[in-house]
Structure 1
Amino acid sequence: MTKKICWAAAIYPILGLLGGLYYRELTKAEHFAGDTQLSIVHTRLLALGTLVFLIVLVLDKVFTLSATRSFAPFFWVYHAGMLVHGTLTVLGRESGAAIAGIRKPADAKA
């Protein structure tokens, strides 16, 4: 699993660039000008994806995190929710609480 973590840390910068391209092209094609979580996929993939998996690599060496049962779901689902939620927002579809997570809707009062 350590090799997979290394590859993830190396691939996330590429995914970050592709995420920025995806956001730009999808919003342009849909003529979308509102706020969406999809706009931060680029930054999160570049910074958090790479940095988190470099930190996870160190933690895996110290605590063997990859040996736990919950590591594989964490590894594969890390950014999928943000991508799905942002895409649904741009396409004008509602997303449920499971996809939205703990983020408040834009029209909710603080």
Structure 2
Amino acid sequence: MSKKIGCGGVFYREFTKLNGFTGFTTLSVVHTHYLMLGMLFFLMLVLLENNFHFIGNKVTKYLLFYHIGLNLTAIMFVVRGIVQVLSLDVSSAAISGIAGIGHLILGISMVLVLISIRKCIKD
């Protein structure tokens, strides 16, 4: 297993080791999701902003919702992972429902940002 950097990776590695867990858990994907959706997405936005200057009040609101969706999704990854590692008897439907809301917020806000970029490029 490769070493992971960051809070998500450290928590995954140490929490599973402490509990003697060797199976798959969603804790293993928290770090990569945050890396891709939290860092690389915004690095691409910086490059696009540099060329097209599309960020205004509307896009700032979309990005706020993007952060809310990203964090809600990541929190539910952690919750589901802890439930998996500890083998807790918790409703999977409730976790999936809240995670689904996070995904919806994330997806809708990402589409709105991309539409804003497209409008700016056309102008």
Shorter-normalised TM range:
0.5 to 0.7
Aligned to 2:7: 18
Counterpart amino acid of residue 21 in structure 1: V
Aligned to 2:97: 98
% identical equivalent positions: 35
Deviation at 1:80, TM superposition (A): 2.2
In 2, Cα distance between equivalents of 1:91 and 1:99: 20
What stretches of structure 1 move > 4 A for 4+ residues in a row?
A: 56-59
Q: TM-score, normalised by structure 2?
A: 0.53
Aligned to 1:13: none
Larger radius of gyration between Structure 1 and Structure 2: 2
Counterpart amino acid of residue 24 in structure 1: R
Deviation at 1:33, TM superposition (A): 1.4
For structure 2, list consecutive stretches of 5 or more residues without a partner in the other structure.
101-123
Change (3 A) 1:87 1:47: same
Asked if 1:75 is matched to 2:67, the reply is yes
Q: Describe the SS at the equivalent of 2:38.
A: helix
Instruction: Write out per-residue CA displacement over residues 16-40 of structure 1, whole angstroms, 9 at most, x where no aligned residue.
Output: 6121110000001111112111111
Deviation at 1:91, TM superposition (A): 2.1
Counterpart amino acid of residue 89 in structure 1: Q
Higher helix share: 2
Of the candidates 66, 79, 86, which is equivalent to residue 60 of structure 2? 66
For structure 1, list consecutive stretches of 5 or more residues without a partner in the other structure.
1-15, 102-110
Counterpart amino acid of residue 97 in structure 2: A
Counterpart amino acid of residue 61 in structure 2: A
How many equivalent residue pairs? 85
Question: Which stretch shows the higher mean deviation, 23-32 or 45-54?
Answer: 45-54
Q: TM-score, normalised by structure 1?
A: 0.57
In 2, Cα distance between equivalents of 1:76 and 1:100: 12
Deviation at 1:100, TM superposition (A): 5.2
Supply the RMSD in Å over aligned alpha carbons.
2.9
Counterpart amino acid of residue 67 in structure 1: K
